[in-house]
Amino acid sequence: MDEIQRRAFMKGAAIGALAFTIGDADVMLTPRQARAQRVPFRTLTADQAVTLDAMGEALVPGAKDAGISNFVDQQVSIPAEDALLEARILNVRPPYANFYRAAVGAIDGASQAKYAGRNFAQLAAAEQHDFIDLMRQNKLENWKGPGAGFVYFLLRSDAVDVVYGTMDGYSHLGVPYQPHIAPTRSW
């Protein structure tokens, strides 16, 4: 069997996508589709999602539309042993929702202290850039939560995941994905 045939053979065995809840039904969507369809959040609040979207987009352009907040919300709403988050790899202790709540709280708290009561999402692009640059170096004042540098690294990883870790992301970079078993729906 040649290589192309073998790849095609394996592709049929795929499982994948993430289960989002719309009404009483679980549907399989990518985070990008979940965002586009305004799937309600299960664990994050709307305000937390706004901050996460803004931070994700500032870290990795494209993360907001790629559904970073829907991805994180879905992942912190399922059992930790099923989670696909980088937090799992970086020794964050479950439940992961606690980490994200604390991280978002620390971001907005430090932003409010530095920028006259404004949350991170309300900052101008240049202000967001300066804020992140201090955050990654653990140099933000009034930071209260998990280590700022660690939060930077982990949220950046999440944003990289949804932008570059997908089949669409590889396509955007101009490199072939070449799966043995393809995740469904480009995920």
Partner 1 sequence: MAANTDMATNEKVDVVIVGAGASGSVFAAVLAKAGKKVVLLESGPDWQPSDLISSDFWGRRLKPAGPPFLLEGKNPYGYVYQAGWGTGGAALHYFANFPRLLPNDFKVKSTHGKGLDWPIDYADIAPFWDKVADDVGVSGDAKAEEVWRPAGKPYPMPPMRTFGGGDVWKKGFGALGMRLSPAAVGINSRPFKGRPACLYDGWCHVGCPIGALANPLVTYLGEARQAGAEVRPHATVTRVLTSADGGKATGVEYYDAGKQKQVQEANVVVLAAWSAQNPRLMLNSATDKHANGLANSSGLVGKYLTAHFASGTSAMFEEDLQPYMGTIAAQYFSYDLYDKNAHKDQGAFGSTFMVAGAAQRYSALGGVANARPDLFGAELAAFMKRAARGYTRLTAFAEEMPVIENRIELASDKDEFGMPLGKITHAFNDDAVALFNANFDKGVEIAKATGAKDVWPNRGPMPTIHLMGGTIMGKSAADSVTNSYGQTHEIANLWIAGPGIFPTSGAPNPTYTILALSLRGAENLVANWRAVAG
Which of 20, 48, 104, 169 is the binder for partner 1 (CB under 8 A)?
Answer: 169
Q: What is the largest CA-CA distance in the chain?
A: 65
The 47-86 contact track toward partner 1, x by CB under 8 A, reads: -----------xxxxx-----------------xxxxxxx
Contacting residues for 37 by C-beta, under 8 A, at least 6 apart: 22, 29
Residue 1-40 contact track with partner 1, rule CB under 8 A, x = bound: x-x--xx--x--xxxx------------------------
Question: What residues numbered 86-145 form the site for partner 1, per CB under 8 A?
Answer: 86, 88-91, 93-94, 129, 132, 136
* Closer residue to partner 1, CB minimum distance, 14 or 113: 14
Measured from the CB atom, is 1 or 25 closer to partner 1?
1
Q: Checking phi first, is residue 145 left (phi over 0); if not, alpha (psi -120 to 50) or beta?
A: left
Q: Which residue matches tokens 């964050």?
A: 92
In whole angstroms, give the CA distance from residue 40 to residue 21. 8
The number of angstroms, rounded, from the C-alpha of 166 to the middle of its chain's C-alpha atoms is: 12
157 binds partner 1 (CB under 8 A): yes
